[in-house]
């Protein structure tokens, strides 16, 4: 029997690199999944790859920055499964790379809406379900960018710093109800998002950009989505039953060097 046998897990950003790999890992451990993404075709592809029966997977399209749509995905999950054991509050975007004076206000607003408002709304509607149950585990996807600064990425860094603060507040509010809230803080991970960050930072550099980012990591390489999923799985599981309000870096030692 897997660690997540008969546990219901909601994942936002489920069609992205980390979300998709985490969904597969938890499915292999027996989880019942509600997979949420703005791109319904992409999330349906994830469902197809997982090969789960209808009793174990629910695919939903939602803009996480829209309150009505967030409430709808939470309600649909509870209607189908009757509970929510775990929530991987994962949806996020990177924005662009420009100095503050050139950073577009509309991009700043978009990053805020997805990365902060979207995460807040997920908590706003999932936490009451878990509090009523008297149990639950939540992992927010922060970033190493929430613990350090980098020039040109004011939108993304602002959002991930804020998300760490939100995580700590949610953990304190959830603790009396046996609801744990933690965050995972990935560094440079081999996903589509990093391809875009590479291009934004060093346009057209290709492998040279990857080499440059890798050199800033003590371990000397990018992380893989599976390495983040392993930490998310631990934090969501009962193995982390005494862990809350913690920020787990998955960054090859980059933040604390």
Complete domains list, the chain, with CATH:
8-187+224-250 (3.40.50.720)
- The tens digit of pLDDT for each residue in 28-51 reads 999 999 999 999 999 999 999 999
For residue 109, CA distances in Å to 65, 113, 133, 159 come to: 11, 6, 35, 10
* Range 172-188 average pLDDT: 96
Q: What pLDDT is attached to residue 198?
A: 74
pLDDT tens-digit map of 195-247:
777 777 777 777 887 877 778 788 888 889 999 999 999 999 999 999 999 99
Active site residues: 156
**Full-model pTM:** 0.93
> Could you report the per-residue pLDDT of 57-104, keeping only the tens digit for each?
999 999 999 999 999 999 999 999 999 999 999 999 989 999 999 999
């Amino acid at each position: 029997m897997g660690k997540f046998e008969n546990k219901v897990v909601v994942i936002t950003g489920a069609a992205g690199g980390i979300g998709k790999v985490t969904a597969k890992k938890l499915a292999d451990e027996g989880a019942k999944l509600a997979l949420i993404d703005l791109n319904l075709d992409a999330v349906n592809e994830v469902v197809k790859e997982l090969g789960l029966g209808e009793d174990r997977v629910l695919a939903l399209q939602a803009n996480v920055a829209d309150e009505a749509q967030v409430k709808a995905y939470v309600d649909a999950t509870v209607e189908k499964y009757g509970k929510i054991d775990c929530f991987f509050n994962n949806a996020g975007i990177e924005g662009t790379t420009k100095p503050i004076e050139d950073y577009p206000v509309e991009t700043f607003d978009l990053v805020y809406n997805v990365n902060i408002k979207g995460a807040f709304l997920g908590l706003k509607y999932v936490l009451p379900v878990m509090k009523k149950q008297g149990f639950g585990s939540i992992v927010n996807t922060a970033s190493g960018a929430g613990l350090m600064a980098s020039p040109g990425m004011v939108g993304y860094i602002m959002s991930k710093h804020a998300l760490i603060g939100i995580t700590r507040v949610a953990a304190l509010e959830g603790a009396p109800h046996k609801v744990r809230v933690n965050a995972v803080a990935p560094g440079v991970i081999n996903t589509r998002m990093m391809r875009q960050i590479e291009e934004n930072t060093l346009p057209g550099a290709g492998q040279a950009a990857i080499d440059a980012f890798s050199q800033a990591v003590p371990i000397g390489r990018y992380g893989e989505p599976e390495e983040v999923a392993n930490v998310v799985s631990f934090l969501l599981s009962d193995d982390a039953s005494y862990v809350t309000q913690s920020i787990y870096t998955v960054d090859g030692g980059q933040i604390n060097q």
